[in-house]
């Protein structure tokens, strides 16, 4: 029996072989330069996929929320880093978790550092998040006043341990010049390391985003890499040149419920609650909510003639279909959809089906 | 203790009073014209909110998937209609559910009708979904050949019962001329009723979408109304004129994690995994992912000086803040965010907190 026979409703498929190859490629790149790879597990959110990652020397992961860190706890991770500016309303919850799991958090202001220093009763590490141009969050790279206020506040506690500087150059998503952004980011981290390492000889620097980590070859003297999406990749990453479409390792299986030959459209059960609503828009303004692949017993096949989701609503997906797809598809068939943003799709679906018909866990509602 | 003291992480709040007023207003409008209101429960997805609806004479609801119908089963609904072109891979599951719950489905092609007729062993009603101009799904209103093929196929089964015609004029979301669309839709349904009622004297017609049902006053000879979003409303509906902002009955409470006075931005824990990524874009291209309200012990207060989410990523939300908000807010505070698309936000969050601190159910992962 093929895994396809198990599927009656929208189901997120995972190709273990492609996933492992993605993890191995990034781990090899990091390790060959002596860097530690600490993948952001907001993408996979899975114990089982964590076990695959261990095979490539991954011993620590990053979570996007304390809920996800709780889910990942107890799986043998040497440390779980929560890469989100710490929310002081969750201090008690953090303290409880820190009793049984080595944790680190991210701090972007002295108020948070002081609050943690005053309230923690178990050891928690922290990174200072640095903004070197992205402009979403973090202490500005030249704002030494704030950095030192955070460090001073943390020193008042025996439980809050400074680990280093974290930089997420998310603006690599919006520009072709990833090398320029990386040069700037590496310079920023080098400057901070030089400035503070006499006082903190063990401090490390971490940089992390999939577009940058995928295309850059030389990470200079940055110590740790923290990308997340590369575990699955997706069409957004393929469009940016981070990967080939063949490297995308998850795909939403959707049942065909109607076919409109005149409009060359196929209606599937697969909408915003399954894929999320991330979208690629081409120069002409055409929207693409996911691209069709043909499912077979071994996984899926990328089509030469492109068919794609031109619109989605809560549950409906409307495929603009190529002539060859229209000729071959029947009501009741399954099609595959490569997602635009795999992290969001996995978060919507809450579980994966492997190509040998095994269910694979994904944290439920970890946000 | 206020409900606010219970909140440490992003939490979806529901104001029962506003929700009840929304349901009552629509029920009064329907019942005063002798129409049956069958709300689309893809928005609320809740047993508890279902009990509120019963107080206003609601006895049937609509589900968006068979999973949601399974969740809603056993709550005393006289009928649950699954308003999605039926997916024949789910026939067995439908048949099992039909053993214990009165159900109806939606059919848009003869292949599906034949499949159901051949395989059902318990009674299931069906509506033929009609497309009178929206162009997403449904049999074209003048395609009598297809309508009659569906009816012929269904007659071969004792279990498949024709109930009537269903029309979702979703293009009301994209035009100011909702009256024009409703005239066209009512004409289409009247024509079909006239044509088929001698053969099916009990057939009913149903129309349903929140923008139309909210602004239209006269539903003519349509028998049933099926809007969904009106239970909560949201900013998209407010912008279209379906409601006032004061009628929006759900709001995401988000913790403040950082404040950037220079950029006039507030960073909150609240992103795409909480709100979904629906967005309003103004004429200048500015994006709005949700609007800030002030939380207090009684609920929330709409601000005169507008502050809004200018960008979101998976977990982060960046608020473009008014001067008055910037002056009053502190790290560790909670702010409220009125959602752009409440159905998607509720689906992401999977539970509600009432203003008296009680958790209210929402179907988990019902897609």
Q: For B116-168, what is each residue's pLDDT tens digit?
A: 999 999 999 999 999 988 778 899 999 999 999 999 999 999 999 999 999 99
Is the CB of A267 less than 8 angstroms away from the CB of B137? yes
- What ipTM goes with this model? 0.92
Going by pLDDT thresholds of 50, 70 and 90, the confidence category of residue B176 is: confident
The chain-wide mean pLDDT, for chain A, equals 95
- CA-based nearest residue to A350, from B347, B313, B359: B347
- Cα dihedral value B181, A309, B278, B209, nearest 10: 30
Nearest-CB residue to A350 (from B86, B278, B365): B365
- Closest Cα in chain B to A343: B314
Helix, strand, coil percentages in chain A from 3-state DSSP, rounded to 5: 35, 25, 40
Say how many Å lie between the first and final Cα of chain B, rounded: 36
3-state SS assignment for residue B36: strand
Residue B273 contacts A where some CB pair is shorter than 8 Å: yes
CA A25 vs CA A31, A105, A247: distances in Å: 10, 27, 11
Structure tokens at B112: 């599906």
Q: Left (φ > 0), alpha (ψ -120 to 50) or beta: where does B332 sit? A: left
Average confidence (pLDDT) over B98-103: 98
Residue A12 predicted with pLDDT over 70: yes
Q: What is the CA radius of gyration of chain A?
A: 22
Helix, strand, coil percentages in chain B from 3-state DSSP, rounded to 5: 35, 25, 40
**Kind of pairing, strands A160-167 and A124-131?**
parallel
Q: Can you give the pLDDT at residue A134? A: 79
Q: Could you report the per-residue pLDDT of B319-367, keeping only the tens digit for each?
A: 999 999 999 999 999 999 999 999 999 999 999 999 999 999 999 764 4
Query: Is the CB of residue A360 less than 8 Å from the CB of residue A354?
Result: yes
Q: Can you give the pLDDT at residue A365? A: 60
**Kind of pairing, strands A124-131 and A103-107?**
parallel
Q: At A26, which helix (H) or strand (E)? A: helix A16-32
Residue A143 contacts B where some CB pair is shorter than 8 Å: no
Average confidence (pLDDT) over A116-128: 98
Q: Can you give the pLDDT at residue B4? A: 95
| Angle of the A47-54 helix axis to the A16-32 helix axis, nearest 10 | 50
User: Helix (H) and strand (E) counts for chain B?
Assistant: 12, 21
State how far residue B136 is from chain A, nearest Cα, in angstroms. Answer: 7
Going by pLDDT thresholds of 50, 70 and 90, the confidence category of residue B269 is: very high
Write out chain A residues lying below 8 Å of B278, CB-based.
277
The structural domains of chain A, ordered by start, are 3-12+244-361 (2.40.37.20), 33-231 (3.20.20.10)
Residue B290 predicted with pLDDT over 60: yes
Residue B66 predicted with pLDDT over 70: yes
Residue B291 contacts A where some CB pair is shorter than 8 Å: no
Q: Could you report the per-residue pLDDT of B34-56, keeping only the tens digit for each?
A: 999 999 999 999 999 999 999 99
What percent of chain B is modeled with pLDDT above 70?
99
Is the CB of B111 less than 8 angstroms away from the CB of A313? no
- Closest Cα in chain A to B277: A277
Write out chain B residues lying below 8 Å of A8, CB-based.
87, 89-90, 92-93
CA distance B211 to B321: 30
Residue A367 predicted with pLDDT over 80: no
Q: Could you report the per-residue pLDDT of A39-83, keeping only the tens digit for each?
A: 999 999 999 999 999 999 999 999 999 999 999 999 999 999 999
Query: Is the CB of residue B289 less than 8 Å from the CB of residue B317?
Result: yes
Nearest-CB residue to A315 (from B8, B65, B311): B65
Residue A346 predicted with pLDDT over 60: yes
Write out chain A residues lying below 8 Å of B274, CB-based.
367
Who contacts A148 (Cβ-Cβ below 8 Å, separation ≥6)? none
Q: Can you give the pLDDT at residue A53? A: 98
Write out chain A residues lying below 8 Å of B267, CB-based.
85, 108, 136-137
Going by pLDDT thresholds of 50, 70 and 90, the confidence category of residue A315 is: very high
Going by pLDDT thresholds of 50, 70 and 90, the confidence category of residue A129 is: very high
Q: Can you give the pLDDT at residue B189? A: 95
Going by pLDDT thresholds of 50, 70 and 90, the confidence category of residue A207 is: very high
């Amino acid at each position: 029996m093929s895994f396809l026979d198990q599927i009656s409703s929208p189901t997120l498929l995972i190709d273990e072989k492609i996933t492992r190859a993605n993890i191995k490629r990034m781990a090899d790149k990091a390790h060959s330069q002596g860097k530690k790879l600490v993948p952001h597990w907001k993408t996979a959110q899975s114990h089982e996929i964590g076990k695959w990652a261990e095979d490539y020397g991954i011993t620590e992961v990053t979570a996007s929320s304390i809920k996800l860190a709780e889910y990942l706890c107890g799986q043998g991770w040497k440390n779980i880093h929560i890469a989100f500016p710490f929310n002081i309303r969750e201090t008690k919850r953090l303290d409880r978790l820190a009793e049984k799991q080595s944790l680190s958090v991210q701090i972007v202001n002295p108020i948070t550092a002081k609050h943690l220093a005053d309230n923690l009763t178990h050891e928690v590490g922290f990174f200072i998040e640095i903004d070197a141009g992205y402009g979403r969050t973090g202490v500005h790279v030249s704002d030494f006043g704030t950095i030192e206020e955070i460090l001073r506040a943390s020193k008042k506690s025996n439980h809050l341990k400074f680990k280093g500087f974290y930089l997420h150059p998310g603006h690599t998503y919006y520009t072709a010049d990833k090398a320029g952004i990386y040069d700037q980011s590496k310079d920023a981290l080098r400057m901070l390391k030089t400035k503070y390492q006499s006082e903190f000889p063990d401090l490390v620097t971490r940089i992390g985003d999939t577009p940058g980590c995928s295309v850059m070859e030389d990470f200079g003297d940055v110590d740790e890499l923290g990308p997340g999406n590369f575990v699955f990749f997706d069409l957004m990453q393929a469009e940016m040149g981070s990967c080939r479409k063949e490297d995308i390792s998850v795909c939403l299986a959707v049942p065909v419920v109607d076919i409109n030959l005149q409009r060359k459209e196929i209606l599937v059960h697969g909408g915003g609650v399954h894929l999320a609503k991330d979208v690629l828009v081409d120069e002409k303004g055409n929207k693409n909510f996911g691209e069709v692949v043909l499912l077979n017993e071994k996984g899926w096949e990328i089509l030469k003639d492109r068919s794609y989701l031109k619109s989605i609503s809560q549950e409906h997906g409307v495929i603009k279909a190529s002539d060859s797809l229209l000729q071959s598809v029947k009501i009741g068939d399954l099609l595959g959809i490569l997602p635009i943003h795999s992290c969001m799709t996995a978060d919507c679906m809450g579980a994966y089906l492997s190509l040998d018909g095994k269910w694979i866990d994904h944290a439920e509602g970890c946000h």
